[in-house]
Chain A
Amino acid sequence: MGRHLLTRLWHGLIVVFGVTAIVFVVTRMVGDPVAMMLPLEATAEQRAAFEHELGFDRPIAVQFGDFLAEAVRLDFGDSLWQRRPAMEIVLEKLPATLELTLLGVGLAIVLAIPIGILAALRPGRALDQSTVAFSLAGLSIPQFWLGLLLIYVFAVRLQWLPTSGSGTPAHVLLPMITMALPALARLVMTVRSAMIDELNQQYVKTARAKGLPLARVVGVHALRNALVPVLTLAGWEAIRALAGYSVVVETVFAWPGLGLATMQAIERHDLILLQAVVFTVAVLVVLTNIALDAVYQRVDPRMKLA
């Protein structure tokens, strides 16, 4: 197990390095950050002088060498448009995105498991059909539009909650629900189909036949087996949100997270900030995957490595 973990970490390190290097090269190949920073009317000479001050006129290999030397100390340099350390910005924004992701995906899991099980108990009946219909609706509604709709109903009409922003628990409710809904829709479908599969297995019939209560059969034996695909999907939802999909919710609700900062970094061609973001997200994705592996092994002993 220990050796396996080391191997995984080593592979993860290669992934992080590879992604960071690719982003470094690509961001310097496409577009010129200086042209975007200065007013359009600045002259070519003024742009060249500015490029020199920022050091972007040096050969790309030299820039990459300097970058690596600093990056091993987790120093990615100063963000071009905020003029302060890029890592400071990332670490400032990350908690908000983690909060939104954990609450949103957490809410989705907590709701998806009971709803999915209830639907699976009597496939094809009214409850099951309405669950499927709800899931399809949840998958079809654009998150953007859903967010604005929730704002309109709960903040503008009813005035129960603030329209946007952060800082109090009241601020988190609508973004959390908006974040959760598409994930909930996907998870419910997965729980449902996994449970239907499990409930048709021989061991379930045996357990029932020897007199185990339904709740125990479903809630302990079948659910444990059905959890593997659910965990896979939940992990994917979390990674997806961290890797950038949270930007939709963050934009609509002015939620000060990493997704919004990344979007702005791309728009403004802030290479330095972008590198810090990509590095951090790559690390998070690798760690999430490793954590997920560990959970798999707890849930399903067949996955244990010799």
Chain B
Amino acid sequence: MTLRQIVRAAVGAVLLAALGHAAQAQQITIALGSEPTTLDPQVREDGSERAVNDNIYETLMARTREGALVPGLAAEAPKLVDPTTWQVKLRPGIKFHDGTPLDAAAVVYSVQRIIDPKLKSEQASFFSTITGASKVDALTVRITTNGPDPIMAARLYWLKIMSPAHGASKQVGAVPMGSGPYKFVGWNRGRDITLEANPDYWGDKPKIRKVAYRFVSEPGTRLAGLMAGEFDLITNLLPEFAGRVPKAAHVQGLEHPIVILNADGGITRDPRVRKALNLAVDKQALAEGLFEGRARVSTGQLLSPSHFGFNDKLKGYAYDPAQAKKLLAEAGAAGKKIQLVGTSGRWLKDREVIEAVAAYWEAAGMKVEVKIYEFGEYLNRLFDRNTRADAIFVVNSNEMMDADRSLSAYYKPGGVGASNKDARLGQLIDAARTEVDPAKRKAMYNEAVQLAYDNAYFVWLLNIEDVYGLSKRLEWTPRVDAKILVREMSVK
């Protein structure tokens, strides 16, 4: 743009911008924290990509606002036809936005595409059990696995269905095309993405006619845009801003900050020390002081109530500094050094939480050595299987909403972030992964979660809420799975 053009257009544009604020009915603007890196729904693990594509693409299984699995594109929940084969029946008559049918061939293609190593999909680990898919008839598909896989329904909730022609096109990352309630209109890179309602949508007709996404990384600027009436919905609202927006909406989220304690060696080898480190921290104060109450005290497990495997009998460690001091004294750990490893700027208020935990441990009589690393270096520590730090802060967010993923990574001996050698715990988690009876499977997780709690393998801190800022006119209730589905919104 030349200077001359700018001068010429300046006056008119100022006027236009002012008029642009006038809210247009049935058209909303959503501000995301970053621009989607691609709009190919199968390659990246990117929340902004999902925020847009969740409205364009659909999955075989879906979830209710509260997290229960329900059929999506599938006519019914998948059925196990033999121990390693699931059969999925599709709803008839569903079409992609280009008019081609969403049939068994499309589902087979989508499954095969995402498990192909050549796609280099960052989501591949969600589908690591799937070995292939085949068409039975026009509306029936069989998906095979490398062993009994009770998590299939949850996996299918994550697997977006694409048309084979579209998946093969060069434009697949730039011009999304699915079967969902919204159709892609345009993407001005760096500026905005626009979608419009799909008039031929098979489900309930969406009320919002048009939606624009903007990308604003600075939380203060997102807030300003909401206050100025430019945005109708902003994500990741800082808890301290919640009082200043026209309307705030929050829901129990999936993020769990915890501290992994090394049960195999060092000062934390003694279970009394690990219990004391739990009892020493005032979780309620963290929730109120750092998150303005927009976080819930952990129930002593790495699961939210909406996760499969959640143990609803567990209460979590209370705040009992006197008992903590007593246990540390008994274990001979009072005044001893403990290392707490963490990172900064990766998760909401990570450094603040780490420093608060360190202060509580100091108050209980430990000498805490806090090590905040740059994220890459931090990951080296988290994944280091040979030398485990005494205590490692991490935030787990399990969008699959099934216990297996979190527990395999952090609870199970040998998991990427686990610091224990509890054989029974490992057995339970392994057995549950292939147990196809949901009741038995749930019982196994309940036992595993209880076992880890009794042995205090972690310091469970909080379950952070997702907080959104809304304009006055927008009507929307956030979902526990953090999906931002425009078809669930309306404007007054």
**Size of interface on A: residues with Cβ below 8 Å to B:** 58
- B380 at the A interface (CB under 8 A): yes
Q: Would A50 and B120 count as touching, CB distance under 8 A?
A: yes
**Per-position binary interface string of chain B over residues 157-194, scored 1 when its CB falls under 8 Å from any chain A CB and 0 otherwise:** 00000000000000001000000000000001111100
Which of A117-125, A151-159, A198-206 lines the interface with chain B? Answer: A151-159
Chain B: number of interface residues, binned into ranges: 35 or more
**Contact (A253, B408) CB under 8 Å given A165-B191, A166-B191, A168-B16:** no
Contact A151 B221 (CB under 8 A): yes
Given known pairs A46-B128, A103-B3, A254-B215, the reply for A148 and B37 (CB within 8 Å) is no
A159–B20 Cα distance when bound, in Å, is: 11
Roughly how many angstroms separate A251 CA and B35 CA in the complex, as a whole number?
Answer: 12
Bound CA–CA A106/B2 (angstroms): 13
Q: Does B13 touch A at the CB level, under 8 Å? A: yes
Question: A41-B408, A53-B120, A148-B220 known; A82 and B38 CB under 8 Å?
Answer: yes
Contacts of B396 in A (CB 8 A): 40-41
Q: Is the CB of A36 within 8 A of B189?
A: no
Question: CB-defined interface of A45-67 with B at 8 Å, one 1/0 digit per residue?
Answer: 01001100110000000000000
Question: Is there contact, CB below 8 Å, between B417 and A40?
Answer: yes
Is there contact, CB below 8 Å, between A54 and B120? yes
Can you name the residue of chain A whose Cβ is closest to the Cβ of B38?
A83
CB distance from B487 to the nearest CB of A (A): 26
A39 in complex: contacting residue of B45, B118, B217, CB < 8 Å: B45
Q: Quick check: B18 and A159 within 8 Å, CB to CB?
A: yes
Q: Which residues of A have CB within 8 Å of B17?
A: 160-162, 168, 170-171
> Once the chains bind, are A168 and B44 in contact (CB under 8 Å)?
no
A252 to B219, CA, bound (A): 9
Interface 9-mer from A6-14, A27-35, A181-189, A274-282:
A27-35
Given A44-B416, A156-B224: A36 and B14 interface contact (C-beta under 8 Å): no
CA distance A84 to B21 in the complex (A): 35
Q: Is the CB of A35 within 8 A of B221?
A: no
Tell me whether B264 is interfacial, beta carbon within 8 Å: no
Contacts of A38 in B (CB 8 A): 45, 122, 125
Contacts A164-B224, A256-B191; A159 near B125 (Cβ below 8 A):
no
A254 surroundings in chain B (CB, below 8 A): 214-218, 221
Given the known A-B contacts A54-B120, A92-B189, A256-B190, are A169 and B377 also in contact in the complex, defined by CB atoms under 8 Å?
A: no
Instruction: From the candidates A36, A81, A84, name the one contacting B376 in the complex (CB within 8 A).
Output: A36
Q: Nearest Cβ distance between residue A236 and chain B, in whole angstroms?
A: 22
A52 to B410 CA separation, bound complex (whole angstroms)? 25
A43-B416, A170-B17 known; A81 vs B379 contact (CB < 8 Å): no
Please measure, in the bound complex, the distance between the C-alpha atom of A170 and the C-alpha atom of B215, giving whole angstroms: 18
Q: CB of A192 within 8 A of chain B?
A: no
Give every chain B residue within 8 A of A31 (Cβ-Cβ).
374-377, 379-380
A-chain residues with CB within 8 Å of residue B410 when the two chains form the complex: 41
Contacts of B81 in A (CB 8 A): none
B10 touches A42 (CB 8 A): no
CB neighbours of A50 from chain B (8 A): 120, 122, 124
Contact of A83 among B40, B190, B408 (CB under 8 A): B40
A301 at the interface (CB under 8 A from B): no
Assuming the contacts A92-B189, A151-B224, asked whether A159 and B37 have C-beta atoms less than 8 A apart, the reply is: no
In the assembled complex, the Cα of A152 lies from the Cα of B21 at a distance in Å of 15
Q: Does A172 contact B (CB under 8 A)?
A: yes
Q: Is the CB of A83 within 8 A of B43?
A: yes
Chain B contacts with A in 114-146, Cβ cutoff 8 A: 117-118, 120, 122, 124-126, 128
**Contact partners of A190 in chain B: CB under 8 A:** none
B448 to chain A, nearest CB (A): 16
The residue of chain B having its C-beta at the shortest distance from the C-beta of A78 within the complex is B120
In the bound complex, how far is the Cα of B189 from the Cα of A251, in angstroms?
16
Is A37 interfacial (CB 8 A cutoff)? yes
Task: List chain B residues, Cβ under 8 A from A35.
Answer: 376, 379-380, 383
Question: In chain A, what residue has the closest Cβ to B21?
Answer: A159
Q: How far is the CB of B143 from chain A (nearest CB, A)?
A: 20
Q: How far is the CA of A257 from the CA of B14 in the complex (A)?
A: 22
Q: Tell me if A264 is interfacial: C-beta within 8 Å of chain B.
A: yes
Most buried by B among A162, A163, A166, A252: A163
Q: Within the assembled complex, what's the spacing in Å between the Cα atoms of A165 and B117?
A: 37
Q: A31-B377, A49-B117 are in contact. Are A83 and B14 (CB under 8 A)?
A: no
Query: What is the chain B residue whose CB lies nearest that of A145?
Result: B220
Minimum CB distance partner of B174 in chain A:
A84
- When the two chains form the complex, which single residue of B14, B214, B385 contacts A165, counting CB atoms closer than 8 Å? B214
Instruction: Point out the residues of chain B lying under 8 angstroms from A37, CB to CB.
Output: 45, 122
Question: Are A169 and B416 neighbours in the complex by a CB distance under 8 Å?
Answer: no
* CB <8 Å contact, B376 and A160: no
Contact A53 B118 (CB under 8 A): yes
A251 touches B217 (CB 8 A): yes
Report Cα–Cα, A60/B190, bound state, in Å.
33
Q: A38-B45, A41-B398 are in contact. List 6 more A-B contacts (CB 8 A).
A: A41-B409, A50-B124, A165-B216, A166-B190, A167-B188, A256-B191
Can you give 28 contacting A-B residue pairs, CB < 8 Å? A30-B377, A35-B380, A40-B396, A40-B416, A41-B125, A41-B410, A42-B416, A43-B125, A44-B383, A46-B124, A53-B118, A81-B46, A83-B43, A103-B3, A148-B224, A159-B18, A159-B21, A160-B18, A161-B14, A163-B225, A164-B224, A252-B221, A254-B214, A254-B216, A254-B217, A256-B35, A256-B215, A260-B217
**Closest 5 A-B residue pairs measured CB to CB?**
A256-B190, A31-B376, A41-B409, A170-B17, A170-B13
